[in-house]
Amino acid sequence: MSVHKDLIRHAQKQNQDYQSFLQLDELREKYIEEAISLCKQGKSFSTDKINEVTRKMNSIPLRIVPERKIVTAEMVQEYVNRSR
């Protein structure tokens, strides 16, 4: 019986971690879009918020999702240049 309860707790913890990951992923995408928008307008931008969220995401122990890359200002600029 205790093994069953342990498995339930483990599954709940994994689900909780995954939900946290999804929320952070949404926030990361929002920050990326903000950086892209500022870059397109020729305004200064930072990737600090993006990378702070990225580090939090990568620290969540999930095996089912690949690690997210750290974003540089050059990467944002390159993306904007290609999308024009």
pLDDT tens for the 84 residues of the chain, in order: 689 899 999 999 999 999 999 999 999 999 999 999 999 999 999 999 999 999 999 999 988 889 999 999 999 999 999 998
Query: What is the predicted pLDDT for the residue at 1?
Result: 66
Distance from the first to the final alpha carbon of the chain:
60
Which residue range(s) make up the domain with 35?
Answer: 2-83
Considering the entire predicted model, what is its pTM? Answer: 0.89
Q: What is the DSSP string of 8-75?
A: HHHHHHHHHHHHHHHHHHHHHHHHHHHHHHHHHTT----SHHHHHHHHHHHHS--SSSPPPPPP-HHH
Question: How many Å apart are CA 35 and CA 40, to the nearest integer?
Answer: 9
The structural domain count of the chain equals 1
